[in-house]
């Protein structure tokens, strides 16, 4: 989270609870990756908690480099490929559309590029007011386009999925990005993760609706199929 070490560690604990609850709602191995999104957010938030400590407490200064790299690796390398892939795994292969495959390929390309930059260009973190700013000296022109492609790979997949309630995930990611880009443009990497708890709650709701298709809570439009999409 973007305010303090305490806030980050607290968010990590809450996200862990949501993640465990989400995994318990799964009934197929193919659902595990999607259900683990809150747990990955938890690791990310706890890691940023240590980034806070390393920047504010001399006793933890030795952790600055490793925690900064771990945080950025999760944020910029794992997420763009993990989000589209985990959503695709919820659907049977025959139900997947070409756009989902395109977004997965785009996410893998973005993850590969940002991973290359993370290894080959200087990065550092610094506290600015109530936020952590991650300074990344990546090539400007290419990095500008990679940012656009990153947003496409992480925001669009839920909108092309046939899974009930998946729009909740897409909407929460999109709204959180817009708010962050407008009000915290200099701290997008850190502040966008502030909304992880909201996004993670939608994960739990989606899995509940997916695995309980005949409950009133999970029904969508009248006339829609009561049969769930099941991927083994």
Condensed to tens digits (0 to 9), the pLDDT of residues 47-94 reads 999 999 999 999 999 999 999 999 999 999 999 999 999 999 998 877
> Please, which residues have CB within 8 angstroms of residue 70's CB and are 6 or more apart in sequence?
47
What is the dihedral sign for C-alpha 20, 232, 109, 159? negative
Q: State the burial class of residue 183 (Cβ atoms within 10 Å of its Cβ: 0-12, 13-18, 19+).
A: exposed
The single-letter DSSP state of residue 129 is T
Residue 106 has a pLDDT of: 96
- Confidence label for 221 from pLDDT (cuts 50, 70 and 90): very low
- Each residue of 147-164: pLDDT tens digit? 889 999 999 999 999 888
- Confidence label for 119 from pLDDT (cuts 50, 70 and 90): very high
What whole-number distance in Å separates Cα of residue 135 and Cα of residue 79? 19
The single-letter DSSP state of residue 77 is I
Pure H helices in 3-61: 5-24, 32-35, 37-56
pLDDT above 70 coverage of the chain, percent:
88
> Which backbone phi and psi does 123 adopt, to 5 degrees?
-135, 150
114-127 average pLDDT score: 93
The residue that leads in pLDDT, 44 or 225, is 44
Q: Are strands 123-128 and 131-136 parallel, antiparallel or unpaired?
A: antiparallel
Residue 232 has a pLDDT of: 43
Residue 210 has a pLDDT of: 81
Query: HSE-up of 95 (CA within 13 Å, CB side)?
Result: 15
């Amino acid at each position: 989270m973007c305010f303090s070490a305490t806030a980050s560690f607290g968010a990590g604990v809450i996200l862990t609870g949501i993640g465990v609850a989400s995994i318990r709602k799964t009934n197929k191995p193919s659902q595990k990756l999607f259900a683990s999104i809150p747990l990955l957010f938890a690791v990310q938030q706890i890691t940023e908690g240590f980034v806070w400590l390393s920047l504010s407490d001399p006793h933890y200064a030795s952790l600055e480099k490793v925690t900064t790299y771990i945080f950025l690796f999760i944020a910029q390398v794992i997420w763009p490929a993990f989000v589209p892939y985990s959503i695709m795994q919820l659907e049977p292969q025959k139900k997947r559309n070409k756009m989902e495959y395109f977004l997965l390929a785009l996410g893998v390309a973005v993850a590969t590029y940002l991973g290359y930059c993370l290894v080959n260009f200087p990065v550092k973190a610094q506290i600015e007011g109530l936020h952590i700013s991650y300074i990344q000296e990546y090539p400007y022109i290419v990095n500008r386009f990679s940012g656009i492609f990153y947003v496409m790979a992480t925001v669009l997949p839920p909108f092309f999925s046939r899974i009930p309630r998946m729009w909740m995930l897409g909407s929460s990611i999109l709204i959180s990005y817009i708010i962050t880009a407008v009000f915290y443009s200099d701290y997008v990497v850190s502040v966008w993760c502030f909304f992880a708890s909201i996004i993670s709650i939608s994960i739990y709701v989606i899995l509940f609706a997916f695995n309980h298709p005949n409950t009133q809570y999970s029904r969508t439009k009248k006339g829609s199929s009561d049969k769930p999409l099941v991927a083994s």
